[in-house]
Structure 1
Amino acid sequence: MNRRLPHWLGMVGIVTAAFGCDNVSFGGMSVSLEGPPRDSLDTEGGTSVIDPDAGPTRFRYGPLLYAGARQGDSVLVVPVGELVEGRLEPLPAGEAGVRLAEQILEERLMPSRKLTLFQQGGRVGTLTVSSALGTSSEYCSPRAQAIGTAELIPSASGSARFLALEQSVGEERPYGIFQTSSVERPHRIGIQNLGGEALNDLRAQWPGTLQNIREDLQVLRISDDQNPSIIGTFLFQDQMAVGPAPDPAYSLMILGELQGVRFTRAFTWYRRVGDEGKGAPRFFSKLDWDGDGEEELLLEVFGAESRWFAALEKEGGSWTLAFQDPCGAPGDGPGPS
């Protein structure tokens, strides 16, 4: 494992706000000379590589995965990465990233374009783009962002976070049963026990009270597993936001799976600021975006100056860090495992 990668048809409507040419191939994502605006959807997939020195070019790229977070009656939507043969590939940084973000706004997030919305793995509605908000500077790689109007199944009308796929990809998926799981005492005890176990194994500095540094805890039902899983984040001398943290600070995120009558650690993220820089993750949402029958988990990670995305997937019975924006990759140290 590379630790351093680094129906319900009754719909309700809500207003949401999101967040001829010559071709040259760079091993996957195609780059072409500037031409008339068009949708550069690469339906054949392939490896995605962008040449940042290619000049005034247009990129040919595959379907994108988007993240959306509600803000009041609005939802901010931004692309997470490109789906290439089922894998989630990062968007480019720097000037190439800015140019691609502008192209995404022009081709994928223009008015009347539709995205299929998902929440906790299930299809819950459709977003129709109304206008673009430009390029966000909150992330360590440039991200396009747009606003639109969403139609949601009634049970998802109060959801705060969404994942989205372009309609050409997402509309093939059926509506499912949308369920939420509340955090109860056994989940709090479980994540507390797993957190203490992890700190001992890592020989990390203990806080005065472990419970006081738990910043996030969510209960999941992953894929067809009827047993609940838990995922929680502990932050020592830090906060779940973009901003600096002292060298002793660390983030600890744990995914726990129910085995019999107790939770066991299935994945551990540990990142100490003094060794690897700040990288405080929290669970965002889940979706089987690669179509293998197992849901992947999207994480939102907060750094000292920006934020980025990472993702976990289950392969061979074990959870691994399958994706992380390169700009957020840690330095030397134990990192996620």
Structure 2
Amino acid sequence: MFICAIKACGSVGVIRSGEQLYSDIIIRGLEGDVTVCNSLIYMYANCNCLTEAEYLFHKIVVKSEVSWNTMIAAYWDRGQSEEALDCYGRLQNSGSNPGSVTVVCSLKACGSMGTICKGNEIHMQAAFQGIEKELYVGNTLVDMYAKCGCLSEAQKVFNDLSERDNVSYNALITGWAQLGESRIVLEVFERMIRDGIDPDFFTFINILNACCHAGLLEEGQLFFHIMTNEFCIVSTPDHHSCLVNLFGRAGLVHEAVIVMNRMPFHPNIIVWHIILAACQKWGNAELGLEAFEHTLQLNEMDTAAYFCMCNIYSESSEG
């Protein structure tokens, strides 16, 4: 009864009710029960009371797998990657084997920090335990290696997966896209379609970005059409920003403005920055001034916009 009630308090963030339950637990002498303690750690962590969660965690003499999972996940969820990895190290020193959830949270921490050596170590541990090919773990390994810039390792883990899903492909596509490997991005996308895996809005953001960086104007327009018409994915401001950027990078600044004006939402500051950058690159001072004025309407202290406009005037006067 206590465990379910405590977890419910943690899920909805009702700390006061949870602490009343904690008082009842102490009165009944259940504070030393590891399952009850795990629930309390979860509650405090979810209510952003990490100090209290840590206090209870350290009080547990014999920690269970759930204890470690809950604490490491709490650190990761709150952006404390270093603490998550430190906790993982203490888990190893205790002689316990990490579960899949612990491995995944620790790998995510490695990816966010770019600590490839620790990521390799956790990968070896996962392989030793026979969990590296579990989809959840495998996907996180692909993502970790990709975020660390180790795409050959990410590709190898991906190829070794017994099954793949949308998350697997997105992690690999994102990694190759960040390295500017547009050709490989499109090859992975084609493989995704052949495997019968449906792309999502995030997949197409990476595909469109890859087309931008490679100057693939026609292909980018085609992928946007495929996204909206074949996969019925509702376009977001990010997709339209990519499309505007596609034309801007190709030197078609007027066409980029037309694409921007046809967007089903008001241009945000990112889009105006794209137009400004295109105007600077291709020496269009007139459109650059218009984009600059619109940018200042959204943020009058936009330093990047002032810098870009100065460059536009400087380069036009030199010409």
Q: TM-score range by the shorter chain?
A: under 0.3
Larger-gyration structure (1/2): 2
Higher helix share: 2
Higher strand share: 1
TM-score, L = length of structure 2: 0.27
Higher RCO by CA contacts (8 Å cutoff, separation 6 or greater): 1
TM-score, L = length of structure 1: 0.26
